Amino acid sequence: EEEELKLLSQECKELLLSLPKEKGWRTPFLYQFQGFWCQPKEIQSIISFQKHFKSRESDVILATIPKSGTTWLKALVFAIINRRRFPPATTSDTSRNHPLLTSNPHDLVPFLEYKLYANNQVPDLSKFPDDDEPRTFATHVPYPSLEESIKKSESVKIVYLCRNPFDTLISSWHFMKILRPESLPQFSLEEAFKMYCNGIVGFGPFWEHMLGYWNESLKRPEKVLFLKYEDIKEDVVSNLKELASFLGFPFSVEEEREGVVIQEIAKLCSFDKLKELEVNKYGKAMTFSKHFENKHLFRKGEVGDWVNYLNPLMVKQLSQLMEEKFMGSGLSF
Ligand code: A3P
């Protein structure tokens, strides 16, 4: 942590002094920046992203709060957009070279704040080759804090993937325990639960993150597509159809009639398939920490695993909180 703080710009260090702070999940502190909680390094890259990013009309932005299925969404969108260049069939010869078989999805669709604008870098994104259009980026930044041209544009598309808060909490707790340095004390579920319900979680409060994108998707459905992890699990075909149409890469009549391509994309991007790939078992894509391995991105991939962790009181508390926060919004789980 100290090493990390040393690498921050003077501007960012000064800013931190003025921000409210709380104990963090995997770092000593989280800071409240533009209304949401995040780590010093993230603040620095978000400022840089807000200052330097300029959208192109065809850009696609994938947005999530951490542990909602970001890796899955990246894989699905990559496979859909690139299906002519890279046919997804898991059996045919031509598909042996599919990038998803040898690269982790995070290496195919970069995070704005963890990769492109991380560590004081200002990437030259104008050099994106034309055959990489649309440029596809990912972010955890809440809607109001996206760079202005993304929000203003009529054509830049945003896909938000939302997961029920119970599973997101459990997934986050497991993940943060892995990333948490040994110098920090143990992190109990009780503690995580309390912080989560108080809104103190990376990019949270979770309800504000979800509602920010939800409300925008109601106002501008052609710009923001709001998907749910549980819905995709339950009916992958209709969700992929909706996603492909939204992105401007609709499945053709033949593709839909045969249904093969859609099934193949679903299979290629499935938890079981990705988890077993060499690159995801032994590789490293993310720069969360020196020791971070891709395998930690694939834990269980199930809906409802929270029942194994939360006691009845916790379930009641979190349910009440959700009812209160989501009341009247139309968003429910
Ligand atoms: P669990 O911890 O509940 O297993 P993110 O990608 O945003 O970090 O989210 C991680 C969660 O998505 C983890 O949930 C992980 O197992 C699950 N996940 C990863 N790949 C998936 C896939 N291809 N399909 C469904 N879930 C997936």
Question: Which contiguous run of DSSP H or E holds residue 61?
Answer: strand 60-64
Distance of CA 53 to the CA centre of its chain: 19
Token readout for 16 is: 């931190």
Assign 161 to helix, strand or coil: strand
Q: Is the CB of 326 under 6 A from ligand 1?
A: no
Q: State the pLDDT confidence band at 230, using cuts at 50, 70 and 90.
A: very high
Q: Is 106 a catalytic residue?
A: no
Q: Which atom of ligand 1 is nearest to the CA of 305?
A: 3
Q: pLDDT, tens digit, for every residue of 31-84?
A: 999 999 999 999 999 999 999 999 999 999 999 999 999 999 999 999 999 999
DSSP secondary structure string for all residues of 17-39: HHS-EEE-SSSSEEEEETTEEE-
Give me the catalytic one of 98, 106, 140, 209: 140
| Lowest model confidence (mean pLDDT) among 105-119, 211-225, 317-331 | 105-119
Assign 241 to helix, strand or coil: helix
How far, CA to CA in Å, does 324 sit from each of 161, 200, 281? 22, 17, 41
Q: Is the CB of 306 under 6 A from ligand 1?
A: no
Give the Å distance between the CA of 34 and the centre of ligand 1: 27
Give the Å distance between the CA of 229 and the centre of ligand 1: 9
What is the percent of the chain where pLDDT is above 90? 83
- Sequence-ordered list of residues with C-beta below 8 angstroms from that of 63, at least 6 positions apart, any chain: 138, 139, 140, 141, 143, 146, 158, 159, 160, 161, 213
In one letter, which amino acid is 262? I
Instruction: Say if residue 131's pLDDT is above 70.
Output: no
Is 108 buried (19+), middle (13-18) or exposed (0-12) by CB count in 10 A?
Answer: middle
Instruction: Say if residue 295's pLDDT is above 60.
Output: yes
Phi, psi angle pair for 197, to nearest 5° = -70, -25
Q: State the pLDDT confidence band at 288, using cuts at 50, 70 and 90.
A: low
Give the Å distance between the CA of 11 and the centre of ligand 1: 35
Report the pLDDT value the prediction gives residue 93, as an integer from 0 to 100.
59
Report the pLDDT value the prediction gives residue 95, as an integer from 0 to 100.
56
